[in-house]
C-alpha cells in the first residue's frame, strides 16, 4: 500500500491518512474475496486493483477544486463501487449515491459500505434511465461521474439529467476520448451540457492514456430525457 499512497500524493496531491490506507486495504481484501465467489471485476491482482481501480477512481478529483469540494455526487454504473467509494474514502463529508442495476454488484457495494462504516451513502438498484426521471434525484447533484460503461452519447443521457445547473458531469474515458466527444456533441447540447475540458491521465505502469471528460450543466434538461431504459443505447442522440 505504500506505493499506492505515494502515487495518490504525487498524482492527486492528497496525503492519505492511516485510516484511509486501512480502508483501502480492507476494500482490496474484500474485493479479492468476493471476486473469487461472484466474478465482480476482471481486475484481480492487488497491484492492478490499487492502480486501475483505486487510483484511477481518485483521478476524478483532478477535475475539482480540492479546497472547495462539492457536497453531492452520483456514480452511475458503479459496478463494485468505482469511482464512488474510493472518492468517499478520501472525501468523508460527501453525500454519495451509487447507481447499479446488477444485483451481485449492488450487494457487494452495500457490504463494503457497511464494512467500512461509510455514512451518507445510498445504493440504488436501478437503471440509470429510471433514476434520471425520479424527482428526488433529477437535477439534484453537484457532480455525476461514470467510468467507461457505455458510449459517450449514452453516458451523457445517463448523467446530465442528474446534474444541477452549474454542476459537472465527469466521464472517465480511454484514448478515444477526443473522438467520442465529437461523436457526442449533439447529445451534450440537447441535454443541457457544454464541454468544459479534457484532462489527460497517466497511471503508473499503464501504457494507455486515459482522459477525464468534463461537461458543465448550462441548461435545464428537457423532461423527455432520459428516455425509457434501453432506448439511449439503441438510439443514441447523434
Q: What is the mean pLDDT of the chain?
A: 96
CB 57 within 8 A of CB 86: yes
Domain ranges of the chain: 67-234
pLDDT tens digit sequence for 160-213 = 999 999 999 999 999 999 999 999 999 999 999 999 999 999 999 988 889 999
C-alpha cell at 90: 478520501
Mind listing the pLDDT tens digit for each residue in 27-77? 999 999 999 999 898 888 999 999 999 999 999 999 998 888 899 999 999
Please, are residues 238 and 182 in contact by the beta-carbon 8 Å criterion? Answer: no
CA pair distance 107, 170, nearest whole angstrom: 25
Strand 210-217 relative to strand 163-173: parallel, antiparallel, unpaired?
Answer: antiparallel
Tell me the three cell numbers of residue 199. 484532462
Strand partners, 193: 217
Fold of 67-234: Rossmann fold (3.40.50)
Q: What is the mean pLDDT of residues 137-148?
A: 95
pTM of the model: 0.96
Amino acid at each position: 500500500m505504500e506505493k499506492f499512497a505515494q502515487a495518490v500524493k504525487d498524482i492527486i496531491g492528497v496525503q492519505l491518512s492511516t485510516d484511509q490506507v486501512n480502508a483501502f486495504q480492507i476494500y482490496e481484501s474484500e474485493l479479492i474475496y468476493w471476486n473469487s465467489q461472484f466474478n465482480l471485476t476482471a481486475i484481480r491482482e492487488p497491484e492492478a486493483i490499487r492502480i486501475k481501480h483505486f487510483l484511477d477512481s481518485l483521478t476524478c478529483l483532478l477535475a475539482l477544486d480540492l479546497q472547495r469540494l462539492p457536497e453531492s455526487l452520483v456514480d452511475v454504473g458503479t459496478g463494485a463501487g468505482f469511482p464512488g467509494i474510493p472518492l468517499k474514502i478520501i472525501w468523508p463529508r460527501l453525500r454519495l449515491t451509487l447507481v447499479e442495476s446488477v444485483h451481485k454488484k449492488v450487494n457487494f457495494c452495500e457490504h463494503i459500505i457497511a464494512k467500512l462504516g461509510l455514512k451518507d451513502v445510498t445504493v440504488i438498484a436501478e437503471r440509470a434511465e429510471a433514476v434520471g426521471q425520479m424527482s428526488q434525484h433529477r437535477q439534484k447533484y453537484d457532480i455525476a461521474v461514470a467510468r467507461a460503461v457505455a458510449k459517450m452519447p449514452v453516458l451523457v443521457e445517463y448523467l446530465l439529467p442528474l446534474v444541477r445547473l452549474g454542476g459537472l458531469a465527469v466521464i472517465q474515458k480511454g484514448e478515444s476520448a477526443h473522438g467520442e466527444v465529437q461523436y457526442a456533441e449533439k447529445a451534450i447540447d440537447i441535454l443541457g451540457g457544454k464541454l468544459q475540458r479534457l484532462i489527460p491521465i497517466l497511471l503508473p505502469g499503464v501504457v494507455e492514456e486515459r482522459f477525464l471528460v468534463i461537461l458543465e450543466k448550462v441548461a435545464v434538461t428537457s423532461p423527455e430525457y432520459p428516455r425509457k431504459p434501453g432506448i439511449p443505447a439503441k438510439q443514441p442522440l447523434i
